[in-house]
């Protein structure tokens, strides 16, 4: 009987074997993926155990079994804030993307699954003359990633739109109202509470479609100071009182490159994968920036991007 197994004393191989037996029983099968194809940096090795659940029940099951067998796991949205290891990832990768991307409208309320693209949500909202989501058109994010990171720009934050978040910790599904999400600057409880977001309920407002389009355009124009269209993961460092880009620029690091990675000559808080960069190139650049800014300015920079790897 499965309940009689002492999971803690099982060897790692046995735990993996039992995990695969149980996931297969639920018709959940892992695939092997190249992380460079699933992250906007375009770097990273193989993830052998990637699961693509299609609903919250499957998501809950994978999470439950990962925890039961004490296997490491990582939730990947659109990979636009993730630096994946050259050595890949040997844990359970839970990928929430097109497979998990339903967006439903009911009046001014939107329910979006975690894997939905924020720019798709913004487009559909605009088509329905709903305003408030214009800034989402500029982010290459999944809805789940945008909640977790409380993504935003130009004074707008994802948290401004959230009514509630449905999430699972593998032992049931819970609804977090916005005030229970612990939103702050690039912060939410989901970065540390072990819950995985399945869907989000948002509230927008009615507005003239023309005005929505005009605002989207003007926000897009402001983004031209960033290296859009390049292989990057957005801001590498969190901003403090002095913007990180200014600090890095003042240290003379703008345009500095190492291997195939470069501190963007356009925006110093972005690192771009210029030509076949490796994760190690990018990680080394991050260390150089941190050390230089500390030596020259006495300021410790904290990274915004998340690391995926063993
Ligand atoms: C060109 C470019 C421009 C950008 N501009 C901005 C900007 O203006 N403002 C801004 O805030 N960000 C910006 N970003 C960064 C990025 O788009 C955001 O951080 C975004 O929210 C990440 O979403 P994602 O789905 O890609 O997350 P991922 O990189 O896949 O994951 C990020 C983190 O969220 C966790 N996570 C993902 N999905 C879930 C889930 N369903 N449940 C629980 N945890 C989850 C992951 O485990 C990881 O810790 C930019 C990135 C790029 C490439």
DSSP string, 33-62: EEGGGSSTT----EEEEEE---SHHHHHHH
Statement: the pTM of the whole predicted model exceeds 0.75: yes
What's the rounded Cα separation, in Å, for the pair 224 and 27? Answer: 45
For ligand 1, the distance from its centroid to the CA atom of residue 158, given in whole angstroms, is 11
Return mean pLDDT, the chain. Answer: 96
For ligand 1, the distance from its centroid to the CA atom of residue 11, given in whole angstroms, is 34
Task: Return the bridge partners of 264, or none.
Answer: none
CA distances from 29 to 13, 113, 195, 204, 294 (A): 17, 21, 22, 38, 46
Confidence grade of residue 12 (pLDDT, cut at 50, 70, 90): confident
Confidence grade of residue 225 (pLDDT, cut at 50, 70, 90): confident
Task: Return the bridge partners of 263, or none.
Answer: 271
Which strands sit side by side in the sheet containing 103-106, from one edge to the other? 103-106, 109-113, 196-203, 162-168, 173-177
Model pLDDT, residue 1: 42
What domains does the chain contain, in order, with CATH numbers?
A: 2-98 (3.30.43.10), 101-223 (3.30.465.10), 227-308 (3.90.78.10)
Tokens representing 102 are: 């339903």
For residue range 80-119, what is the model confidence (pLDDT) as tens digits?
Answer: 999 999 999 999 999 999 999 999 999 999 999 999 999 9
Confidence grade of residue 11 (pLDDT, cut at 50, 70, 90): confident
Q: Whose CA is nearest to atom 28 of ligand 1?
A: 79
Confidence grade of residue 275 (pLDDT, cut at 50, 70, 90): very high
Model pLDDT, residue 9: 77
pLDDT > 70? residue 53: yes
CA proximity to 144, closest of 166, 169, 123, 163: 166
Tokens representing 96 are: 């929430």
Summarize the confidence of residues 192-221 as an average pLDDT.
97
Summarize the confidence of residues 111-136 as an average pLDDT.
98
Q: Whose CA is nearest to atom 35 of ligand 1?
A: 145
Confidence grade of residue 4 (pLDDT, cut at 50, 70, 90): low
Question: Angle 12-25/56-68 helices, nearest 10 degrees?
Answer: 160
Tokens representing 230 are: 């390049």
């Amino acid at each position: 009987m499965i309940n009689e197994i002492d999971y803690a004393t099982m060897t790692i191989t046995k735990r993996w074997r039992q995990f695969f037996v149980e996931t297969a029983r639920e018709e959940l099968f892992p695939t092997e993926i190249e992380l460079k194809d699933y992250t906007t940096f375009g770097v990273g090795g193989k993830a052998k155990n990637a699961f693509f659940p299609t609903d919250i029940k499957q998501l809950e099951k994978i999470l439950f079994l990962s925890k039961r067998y004490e296997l490491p796991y990582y939730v990947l949205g659109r990979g636009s804030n993730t630096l994946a290891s050259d050595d890949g990832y040997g844990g359970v990768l839970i990928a929430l993307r097109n497979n998990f991307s339903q967006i439903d409208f009911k009046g001014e309320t939107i329910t979006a699954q975690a894997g939905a693209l924020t720019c798709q949500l913004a487009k559909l909202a605009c088509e329905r003359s709903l305003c408030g989501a214009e800034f989402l058109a500029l982010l290459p994010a999944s809805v789940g990633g945008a909640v977790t990171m409380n993504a935003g720009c130009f004074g707008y934050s994802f948290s401004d739109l959230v009514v509630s978040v449905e999430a699972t910790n593998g032992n049931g599904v819970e609804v977090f109202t916005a005030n229970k999400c612990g939103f702050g600057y690039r912060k939410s409880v989901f970065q540390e509470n072990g819950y995985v977001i399945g869907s989000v309920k948002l509230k927008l407002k009615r507005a003239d479609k023309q005005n929505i389009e005009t605002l989207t355009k003007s926000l897009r124009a402001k983004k031209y100071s960033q290296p859009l269209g390049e292989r990057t993961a957005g801001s590498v460092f969190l901003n403090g009182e002095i913007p990180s880009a200014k600090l890095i620029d003042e240290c003379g690091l703008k345009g500095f490159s190492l291997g195939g990675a470069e501190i963007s000559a356009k925006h110093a808080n972005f690192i771009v994968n210029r030509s076949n960069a490796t994760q190690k190139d990018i990680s080394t650049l991050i260390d150089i920036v941190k050390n230089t800014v500390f030596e020259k300015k006495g300021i410790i920079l904290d990274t915004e991007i998340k690391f995926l790897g063993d």
